[in-house]
Structure 1
Amino acid sequence: MTLAKVQPILDRLFAAATKDAWPQSYPADPQGHADALADIYMPISADGGKLLYSLIRAARPETVVEFGTSFGISTIYLAAAVADNGTGHVYGSEMNASKLAAAQANLNEAGLADHVTILPGDARESLAGIAGPIGVVLLDGWKDLCLPVLKLLEPKLSPGALVVGDDVSFATMATYLDYVRDPANGYVSVEFPVEDGMEISCYTGV
């Protein structure tokens, strides 16, 4: 299983993430925000990563989209699942150039680079060109942009697609949660209790 093979890399990256030191302030604009936090890992939890791996192994999507790649910890879980499925591709997004390079290097080290394309720039632009159908989406970038990114991708979601929003305990995720928890918007949604919480939403297409 690929996940077991890449575990030492994940362990090293998680250990580095424990040293995250957040600045006192940073610019409000997305690019300035991303560049100010260029050294901050902001990873998903290990349990969250295992959950993502399991979801993709079960769903067997042809296209996986990740908003917010950072250093590529979550991307490794996504790519490992795609590799073990023997089908599919992961499209990531990252605004900061140094993080994108680091994530690419980590994927190369893990032997998973062929399964991933990381798109540079603002996800609201870079992800617009991805062709559907999209089977799994991970939203783990700036929290106030999770809903705009979801709405961008929504016309390309396959019926039954899984959308995972990370850090749902954050107040800045409230608008996103209101949206996916309203059945009128076409989702069946449930919170999963890993670290800061993940919201798993199934797109019904209705």
Structure 2
Amino acid sequence: MTSPLHDPVLEKLLDRLHAQSDEQAGEMSAFLAEQRRESGQDRSQRGFDDNLRQFLGDKLVALDRDKATFCYQLCRALGARRVVEAGTSHGVSTLYLAAAVRDNGHDDGVVIATEYEPAKAGIARANFEEAGLARWIELREGDLRETLVDCGGPVDFLLVDIWHVALDALELVTPALRPDAAIITDNTISAAKGYQPYFEFLNDPANKLRTMTLPFAGGLEFTVRVD
């Protein structure tokens, strides 16, 4: 697939990070399969326990390239200036979002990124600097239930890529979404059981959201804020 980014430095970095993430995919699948065998539950039912947190401690858990590219394109179409990302990890998807804000011509634009693990936050910051995109990224380290209390202004786009606190992120950011803002949520088919309360919020008319599931691997939820 031809990249829409047209940024050789960024594309080289993303090639390296996606390759690293792809290498980890098999190891991650094997670990999750073993957990299912032991507990009789899939990841979304089991919850985010200490074993899973420890395993994921050094993993990229990167958004798939096609999904990240879709987010870039959508942010370009929206003319996004203020973006929020719940679940940054090593910052792969953050780079796509920041590139979109930059390419939209918003010198004062920002991607508010969130990461709980200090080690991952440090790696993400280094990636932001290497890509030359750090000026468009505000990385908030810690529990997003605290770091996303104030988004600092109207939000154009929200990416949710951290299923176990997805509802918390949605509830916090939704009041800040401007009309016609978009939300993308990953793996809403593969982790459907864990997303049940999330979908209840999406489908509550009082929240002024309209949603549909797109046929990306694992499911990708596309939600729009309406008046």
Give yes or no for TM over 0.5. yes
Matches within 5 A, 1:91-170: 91-141=112-162, 143-169=163-189, 170=191
Gaps of 5+ in 1: none
Measure the CA separation in 2 of the matches of 1:32 and 1:204.
40
Deviation at 1:4? 2.8
Measure the CA separation in 2 of the matches of 1:70 and 1:78.
14
Measure the CA separation in 2 of the matches of 1:82 and 1:45.
20
Aligned with 1:178 (options 197, 200, 204) = 200
Measure the CA separation in 2 of the matches of 1:30 and 1:62.
35
Deviation at 1:138? 0.4
Deviation at 1:44? 1.1
Tell which deviates more after alignment, 85-94 or 22-31.
Answer: 22-31
Residues 100 and 34 of structure 1: CA distance in aligned 2, closer, same or farther (over 3 Å): farther
Gaps of 5+ in 2: 36-42
SS of corresponding position for 1:4: coil
Measure the CA separation in 1 of the matches of 2:125 and 2:179.
31
Measure the CA separation in 2 of the matches of 1:104 and 1:33.
24
Q: Does residue 55 in structure 1 map to residue 57 in structure 2? A: no
Measure the CA separation in 2 of the matches of 1:31 and 1:153.
27
Does structure 2 retain, via aligned residues, the 8 Å contact 1:2–1:84? no
Measure the CA separation in 2 of the matches of 1:121 and 1:197.
27
Matches within 5 A, 1:1-16: 3-5=5-7, 6-16=10-20
Q: Does residue 203 in structure 1 map to residue 225 in structure 2? A: yes
Deviation at 1:28? 5.9
Tell which deviates more after alignment, 183-192 or 150-159.
Answer: 183-192
Aligned partner of 2:38 in structure 1 is none
Does structure 2 retain, via aligned residues, the 8 Å contact 1:132–1:158? no
Deviation at 1:144? 2.8
Does structure 2 retain, via aligned residues, the 8 Å contact 1:162–1:201? yes
Does structure 2 retain, via aligned residues, the 8 Å contact 1:2–1:83? no
SS of corresponding position for 1:69: coil
Deviation at 1:179? 2.5
Measure the CA separation in 2 of the matches of 1:148 and 1:16.
29
Identity among equivalent pairs (%): 34
Measure the CA separation in 1 of the matches of 2:68 and 2:11.
11
Q: Does residue 190 in structure 1 map to residue 209 in structure 2? A: no
More helix by share: 2
Residues 43 and 131 of structure 1: CA distance in aligned 2, closer, same or farther (over 3 Å): same
Residues 167 and 180 of structure 1: CA distance in aligned 2, closer, same or farther (over 3 Å): same
Whichever of the two has the greater Rg, that structure is: 2
Does structure 1 retain, via aligned residues, the 8 Å contact 2:80–2:100? no
Measure the CA separation in 1 of the matches of 2:67 and 2:48.
28
Deviation at 1:33? 5.2
Aligned with 1:45 (options 39, 42, 64) = 64
Tell which deviates more after alignment, 28-37 or 161-170.
Answer: 28-37
